[in-house]
Structure 1
């Protein structure tokens, strides 16, 4: 399992670099997005650094995040950087635990639920904006025009695959998600279903479509982070197995 986690750590260090610059803080690397669009990113442990991060290291990163007007956020894997949690929490950051899951073998075949169809979308697909918006609606949010442009650009560059579930009658986008490949590793991210369409198996079908696409492209390691135990059980039905704990640290609400 150490080898698998090392591959995931290498992926975590590589994937933001396609749309962010890396700022060196010794045992921590802070990824800063390029431009105003897209995910604001976070700080992570620096792969291979000989020293553990201290509270002072965390505070230096937080000061830089505040300077840039970006979230004070940290992400890491508990099992590969066990000492970081103490330093992060000592600085006042709140840490959340999430199951880190890896796909074992071939995924379970999942058909689209009755009354829905699931497909991947090209950058120029007329339904792209609606497909991008569906997971945002799951959290009561709306993407901006820049978010849709960014996803389209990443699809064109082969950095993202987007799949969505559509109502077979109306064509409305009900759920969506993405898989982001880097070399032989890919992460399933951002899967969400519109509130009015939940409990129909749409998220599971979208995830299955993303996994199938990744496998068809020759991806050897597919993983994801579950938000909670209920979602963990959902993904286990596809063949994902929990192998570690992903930690997300955020500044407390003012």
Structure 2
């Protein structure tokens, strides 16, 4: 019988390929490498690998990531690949844990938020919508922060903002992502996306401008993404929450924790 974690494993293996990444085989691990410009992916356990990855396997992948000058990143589900954490830690990486949550499709849906709408590929607010999460994740947590409209305007002026807009615009046009934003007086205060593969959709990158937190905007954006995904035929909608506090917010949108998503990266360097 296929379990929800089996479904998520297949999604994790498929979504980079749909996004244009090349898959490189390292036995029990697969490294996804983005062709050209775009989101840089990760290494993760190979489907039906037949054996657990060792620290030596992890080192081989790390060497290849360094050769390609791509992020030294691994992502996996703790309950599905329980031995991988020890292998990546033995290779010197630091592991971050995040609640992995799946939507209860029978849960009562939240009403539409009046300030939230879906954005298209040519929407003039798209640059702002891809810039807000970058500011949000630079100041993580749920507490109200300092960054507001002025910081957003500065972020939008950076070259990376235009690169992000072009990348997301292409994905919106191709139907490989959808984006919702909370907009007040012409300013994007919160934004997020979902990425569909078949009848599975992952909600990703929901972030609120730090100065606009604790106003229900992230819940409104998430509810809009969920409603759109279900309307387009999704049967499984899931996400990874930043921490337990964020997970409690998502539980109000009908998500329940099913497992733990793990991300391994090199330790932060002093002064970085």
Range 101-110 or range 237-246, more displaced: 101-110
Task: State which of 169, 176, 179 in structure 2 corresponds to 1:159.
Answer: 176
**Contact 1:109 1:208 (C-alpha < 8 Å) held by counterparts:** yes
**Contact 2:131 2:161 (C-alpha < 8 Å) held by counterparts:** no
Whether 2:208 is the aligned partner of 1:193: answer yes
The corresponding residue for 1:203 is: 218
Q: 1:112 to 1:219 in 2, by over 3 A?
A: closer
SS at match of 1:139: helix
Whether 2:116 is the aligned partner of 1:118: answer yes
What is the total number of aligned residue pairs between the two structures?
Answer: 249
TM-score, normalised relative to structure 1: 0.94
Q: What CA distance in whole angstroms lies between the structure 1 residues aligned with 2:196 and 2:106?
A: 17
The corresponding residue for 1:33 is: 34
After superposition, what is the alpha-carbon deviation per residue over 1:21-57, rounded to whole angstroms, capped at 9, x for unaligned? 1111110001111113x32211000001101111110
Alpha-carbon distance, 1:9 to partner: 0.3
CA RMSD of aligned residues (A): 1.6
Residues 10-89 of structure 1 mapped to structure 2, 5 A cutoff = 10-17=10-17, 18-36=19-37, 38-89=38-89
After superposition, what is the alpha-carbon deviation per residue over 1:78-101, rounded to whole angstroms, capped at 9, x for unaligned? 111111111111111111111100
After superposition, what is the alpha-carbon deviation per residue over 1:177-203, rounded to whole angstroms, capped at 9, x for unaligned? 000000010000000000111110100
The corresponding residue for 1:245 is: 260
Alpha-carbon distance, 1:111 to partner: 4.1
Q: What CA distance in whole angstroms lies between the structure 2 residues aligned with 1:175 and 1:239?
A: 19
The corresponding residue for 1:175 is: 190
Q: What CA distance in whole angstroms lies between the structure 2 residues aligned with 1:209 and 1:106?
A: 16
TM-score, normalised relative to structure 2: 0.88
Q: What CA distance in whole angstroms lies between the structure 1 residues aligned with 2:84 and 2:14?
A: 20
For structure 1, which runs of at least 5 residues remain unmatched after alignment? Answer: none
Alpha-carbon distance, 1:2 to partner: 6.0
Q: What CA distance in whole angstroms lies between the structure 2 residues aligned with 1:235 and 1:108?
A: 13
**Contact 2:101 2:240 (C-alpha < 8 Å) held by counterparts:** yes
Q: What CA distance in whole angstroms lies between the structure 2 residues aligned with 1:108 and 1:74?
A: 35
SS at match of 2:48: coil
**Contact 1:88 1:249 (C-alpha < 8 Å) held by counterparts:** yes
Alpha-carbon distance, 1:107 to partner: 4.7
**Contact 1:112 1:202 (C-alpha < 8 Å) held by counterparts:** no
The corresponding residue for 1:234 is: 249
Q: What CA distance in whole angstroms lies between the structure 1 residues aligned with 2:245 and 2:36?
A: 36
After superposition, what is the alpha-carbon deviation per residue over 1:110-136, rounded to whole angstroms, capped at 9, x for unaligned? 3466xx610001101121111121211
Q: What CA distance in whole angstroms lies between the structure 2 residues aligned with 1:188 and 1:43?
A: 20
Whether 2:150 is the aligned partner of 1:133: answer no
Q: What CA distance in whole angstroms lies between the structure 2 residues aligned with 1:101 and 1:90?
A: 28
Whether 2:109 is the aligned partner of 1:109: answer yes
**Contact 2:97 2:260 (C-alpha < 8 Å) held by counterparts:** yes
